[in-house]
Amino acid sequence: MTAVSRLRQRYWLTAFRQSSFGRAVIRRLPGRVKRGLRAGHRWQRRAGAQLRTRWRRSLQFRVVSTTLVLCVLVIAVLGYFLVQTIATGLLASAEKSATAQAAAARSTILGLSNVLVLQPPEADSPTANAPNVAEVAARTALDEGGSAGKYLVAVHLTDPQADPQADSVPWVAEDTFNPSATIPSGPSGLLAGVSQEQSDEKFDNQYVPVPQYQPTTLVGNDGQSLGPTLAVGVPLGPYYQLYYVYPFTSEQSFLLLVQRVLIGAGLALAVLLAAIASLVTRWVVLPVRHAAQAAQRLSAGHLEERMRVLGVDDLAALATSFNEMASSLQGKLRELEELSKVQRQFVSDVSHELRTPLTTIKMAADLLFESRGELEPGSARSAELLQSQLERFETLLVDLLEISRYDAGAATLDADLVDVCDLVRNSAADAQQLAERRGGRIEFRLPATGCFAEVDRRRVERILRNILVNAVEHGEGKDVVVTTAMDNDAVAVSVRDYGVGLRPGDEQQVFERFWRADVSRARTTGGTGLGLAISLEDAHLHGGWLQAWGERGKGSVFRLTLPKLAGQELAGSPLPLGPDDAELTGTILRD
Amino acid sequence: MKGRVLVVDDDAALAEMLGIVLRGEGFEPTFVADGDKAVEVFRDSRPDLVLLDLMLPGSDGIDVCRQIRAESGVPIVMLTAKTDTVDVVLGLESGADDYIMKPFKSKELVARVRARLRRTDEPAPEMLQIGDIAIDVAGHSVKRGPETLNLTPLEFDLLVALARKPRQVFTREVLLEQVWGYRHAADTRLVNVHVQRLRAKIEKDPEHPEIVVTVRGVGYKAGTG
């Protein structure tokens, strides 16, 4: 069904349903019928949808059904022409034999001396009265073919003026094969043709009249049609006309047989062709399906997946190139894996190699630091500086190692079901101390029920510590608000400060490595410049988001959104990014 | 307090520094640099505690740990530069009681060493029972019926802590404080690994523990047997 016709059908259905007549009809239908109609409609729609899906999905289905439809169409057209040709041939041969028989019967009758067809009919004469002459002529004609019983013969008196009584017997018919049948009275073209021949003959004695014929329908006594026939007429002298009516019974049954054979053979051929098409498509489709499956497995990580190569045809070429692709892919991946392994090993080695001497230095510095009271002032101060800078060096080393672990793809998620609110409280300790020194405080807005989610405790605490310390550091001594909320899929923590804020465009840049909001700002807390970059990686490792909002002078918001189940995709965050409406109107909402 | 410490470390400078710090705190350190000789020196010196670097030439620190654990329940503290979970867990599973991540502070190291060496002064005679396990706290022995179960001091402390308050659920943080002596929360993987090691020794079926029961989302408690 094309889209247009479907639309049209739907249009008519809708129009019918919406018309007042349609509504009245539908309203009056009994409930069961209405339900049935609805169910039928549903079923039709479902079946239609299934077929459409099948059509779109399966190449084989498409090929087979197209072959079937086209095949049936071709066979129908061919069959139609075949039947037409046979019918025409049959008609022609029937006409030929019928005219020959009529001509022969005519000459026989004219040659008989006891049949007075050449004389005008006389009502009084026992031999020349019209019914008598006609009957004798008809009997003769009936015997002529030697196959009496297969046709009807009629003798017609042309000139009723010659015999007033003849009007009552316009036809004299012999009917042996079907007593209930009558001669058709209708074929006026035939009667006119025969009358024309008759007048031609009357005009010219030498003229041999040609039998006229016309297909017509035999009508029974009760007026019922008895099937097609061929009527043939020939003038019989100047007063009478001889007619044969041949029923097409045998021709018809023959045609019917031919039609049946054609339909049967056509259907069988169509089914056979469909089966062949199905088989052939299978040959083509199966390897393609195998290829699709192999590609799927390959993309799922089974890099050893290969296709079987059979022969040297197009499909074999497909398989060969597929396998080549898979091999080169596998090679490249191995290379990358190797590189990543080397990188990871390097990170691990650097880590170990640096940490051991650092430990020694640190312990030595500790020792010096503790005994600084016994040293002279310069050396004592040196010991202090050594101690504090070693700490900074260590943090930097830890951060660098962490970020290179991310770069090497070696970071793993150690997820556990924990209360994110607890993590918020735990990780706020450093920031709280700092806030107290600055004269501000941290306000917590945490739901009483807790916010359980599957997260890596260590990493989430690190993120929270980072954004909390940042907020206090840039909060200019004002309060910092920490809000936690959750919905069905996600947990979010937002940290709001009312400090210097961010310049436009800085929302992305804050997460870059070694980026500083203001180069001239004093490095009071000695951050490494990697904190937010690591936090962003930590959030991404969870499949979560870490986003920033800020405006110059209005403070900033850092929002962490994590999926409740590790690895789930986030659709949205339970908290807004940026100042909420309540803040803008000056009221503060509390949980 | 006994104070013999065996330092197994290949880095000469670090070993020397460790020696200075340990001596300053009143311990008697002995040193071995080669992993292959570590077990031999261990047998000779009979230390009260082993400080073991995880990365050693010769045999691996983890192998050394396993060999020492096979013949003694002496406390082992690993020094590790590796922060990856797998390495830490592997070290703990091979028998170490605790670990310190490099770089560490001297005070931190000393605190850990003391915590591992600290034994409660002669405990009062006390018998505890969890399920079919009988614990003699003073005699430092654990029995199931006539059979004596061989636990390391740390595993023993863990079991005693749980058994003393049979109905209480201990969070991992509380256990860290009570058994390991950490003041503030540290790595809770320590607890997980040691609970598993303890279960492997005392449970009839470690897959379905009955003595040390997990309370999901909270921690552990002593089972009712």
pLDDT digits (tens, 9 = 90+) for B121-153: 456 677 888 888 888 888 888 888 888 888 888
Strand A212-220 with A442-445, pairing: unpaired
pLDDT at A16 over 80: no
B112 plus B138 within the same structural domain? no
Q: Which of B22, B106, B218 to mutate to test the interface with A (most CBs of A within 10 A)?
A: B106
Is residue B37 within 8 angstroms of chain A, CB to CB? Answer: no
Taking the CA atoms of A435, A436, A439 and A441 in sequence, report the sign of the dihedral they define. Answer: positive
Instruction: State the DSSP code for A186.
Output: -
Within 8 A of A348 by CB-CB distance, chain B residues are 82, 84
Within 8 A of B79 by CB-CB distance, chain A residues are 359
B194 plus B218 within the same structural domain? yes
Is residue A246 within 8 A of residue A97, CB to CB? The reply is: no
- CATH label of the domain that carries residue B171: 1.10.10.10
Beta strands in chain B (DSSP E): 4-8, 28-32, 49-53, 76-80, 98-101, 127-130, 133-136, 141-144, 147-149, 170-171, 212-215, 219-222
Write down the pLDDT at residue A335: 92
Q: Which residues contact B156 (CB under 8 A, 6 or more apart)?
A: B140, B142
Of the two residues A330 and A125, the one the predictor is more confident about is: A330
Sort B28 into a burial class: Cβ within 10 Å, 0-12 / 13-18 / 19+.
middle
pLDDT tens per residue across span A81-139: 999 999 899 889 888 888 888 888 888 888 777 767 777 766 666 666 666 676 777 77
Cα dist from B136 to A270, B128, B133, whole Å? 92, 7, 10
Nearest CA to A472 out of A499, A490, A454 is that of: A499
Beta bridge partners of A454: A417
Chain A residue with the nearest C-alpha to that of B217: A417
Chain A residue with the nearest C-alpha to that of B106: A363
Q: Which residues contact B130 (CB under 8 A, 6 or more apart)?
A: B159, B162, B163, B166, B211, B222, B223, B225
Q: Which domain holds residue B158?
A: 127-222
Q: Which residues contact A445 (CB under 8 A, 6 or more apart)?
A: A481, A482, A483, A484, A590, A591
Chain A residue with the nearest C-alpha to that of B79: A356
B97 plus B170 within the same structural domain? no
Within 8 A of A422 by CB-CB distance, chain B residues are none
Q: Are residues B85 and A412, on separate chains, in Cβ contact within 8 Å? A: yes
Spatial distance between the Cα atoms of B114 and A167, rounded to a whole number of angstroms: 148
Write down the pLDDT at residue B31: 93
Is residue A456 within 8 A of residue A414, CB to CB? The reply is: yes
Is residue B217 within 8 angstroms of chain A, CB to CB? Answer: yes
Is residue B183 within 8 angstroms of chain A, CB to CB? Answer: no
Within 8 A of B20 by CB-CB distance, chain A residues are 363, 367
Sort B99 into a burial class: Cβ within 10 Å, 0-12 / 13-18 / 19+.
buried
pLDDT at A171 over 70: no
Within 8 A of B106 by CB-CB distance, chain A residues are 362-363, 366-367
Q: Which residues contact B91 (CB under 8 A, 6 or more apart)?
A: B54, B61, B62, B65, B78, B80, B99
B35 plus B111 within the same structural domain? yes
Spatial distance between the Cα atoms of A474 and A518, rounded to a whole number of angstroms: 11
pLDDT at A145 over 70: no
Percent composition of chain B: helix, strand, coil (DSSP 3-state, to 5): 40, 20, 40
Q: Homologous superfamily of A416-584 in CATH?
A: Histidine kinase-like ATPase, C-terminal domain (3.30.565.10)
Please identify which residue in the block is written with the tokens 């047997």: B225
Count the domains in chain B.
Answer: 2
Report ipTM (2 d.p.): 0.74
Q: Are residues A394 and B103, on separate chains, in Cβ contact within 8 Å? A: yes
Within 8 A of B104 by CB-CB distance, chain A residues are 359, 362
Cα dist from A311 to A291, A317, A321, A322, whole Å? 16, 9, 14, 15
Count of CB atoms within 10 A of residue B161's CB?
18
B150 plus B196 within the same structural domain? yes
Instruction: State the DSSP code for B176.
Output: I
Band (A400; pLDDT cuts 50, 70, 90) = confident
Q: Which of B89, B117, B145 is the last residue of a domain?
A: B117
B122 domain residue, yes or no = no
B110 plus B150 within the same structural domain? no
B47 token code pair: 């230390």
Is residue A356 within 8 A of residue A341, CB to CB? The reply is: no
Q: What CATH code is assigned to A94-255?
A: 3.30.450
Distance from CA of B49 to the nearest CA of A (A): 20
Spatial distance between the Cα atoms of A286 and A292, rounded to a whole number of angstroms: 10
By a Cβ cutoff of 8 Å, what residues of chain A touch chain B?
Answer: 348, 351-352, 355-364, 366-367, 394, 401, 410, 412, 414, 417, 426
Is residue A153 within 8 A of residue A142, CB to CB? The reply is: yes
Q: Which of B59, B84, B117 is the last residue of a domain?
A: B117
A350 token code pair: 């650097």
Nearest CA to A244 out of A260, A235, A233 is that of: A233
Spatial distance between the Cα atoms of A530 and A474, rounded to a whole number of angstroms: 16
Distance from CA of B211 to the nearest CA of A (A): 24
Count of A–B CB contacts within 8 Å? 59
State the average pLDDT over residues A215-236.
73
B71 domain residue, yes or no = yes
Q: Are residues B102 and A359, on separate chains, in Cβ contact within 8 Å? A: yes
Distance from CA of B115 to the nearest CA of A (A): 19
Spatial distance between the Cα atoms of A408 and B37, rounded to a whole number of angstroms: 36
Spatial distance between the Cα atoms of A116 and A206, rounded to a whole number of angstroms: 20
Report phi then psi at A522, rounded to 5: -70, 140
Within 8 A of A401 by CB-CB distance, chain B residues are 83
B93 plus B153 within the same structural domain? no
Least confident of A336-350, A478-492, B174-188, B206-220: B174-188
